[in-house]
Amino acid sequence: MNRRKKKKVLNRKLVALYLGLMFVFIVELLFYTYCRVQSTQVSGEISRETARQRDLLSMRDSLKVELARLKSPQRIAKIAGEQFDLVLPNSNQIIVLP
């Protein structure tokens, strides 16, 4: 009977070891899956932000062009003449200060 007890204890130890190894394996598998999901999500975020950066750079370039057009001296002179009736002074209207 003593031999049977030892065999039962040995079987219980093997079952506990097997369950422990399975638990470690399952935890490792879940951690790997979590890491892969996070990696995929971060990759998607990087792609979206890269596209957003491209869009913003394009918008910045178009705004630079529009600003240059709005600052154009010809445009300003045209608006001054049409809307405010301003004209360039004649030479006799210019007073030089000493």
Output the pLDDT for position 5.
74
- The one-letter amino acid code at 57 reads L
Rounded to an integer, the average pLDDT of 35-64 is: 98
More confident residue, 2 or 37: 37
| Domain assignment present for 93 | no
| Domain assignment present for 92 | no
Concatenated DSSP letters for 50-65? HHHHHHHHHHHHHHHH
**What's the distance, Cα to Cα, between the start and end of the chain in Å?**
127
| Domain assignment present for 97 | no
Output the pLDDT for position 88.
87
- Please report, for residues 9, 12, 15, 23, 24, the alpha-carbon distance to residue 19 in angstroms, rounded to integers and kept in the order given: 15, 10, 6, 6, 9
| Domain assignment present for 20 | yes
Q: Which domain holds residue 54?
A: 2-84
- The one-letter amino acid code at 54 reads R
pTM metric for this prediction: 0.60
Q: Each residue of 21-47: pLDDT tens digit?
A: 999 999 999 999 999 999 999 999 999
| Domain assignment present for 66 | yes
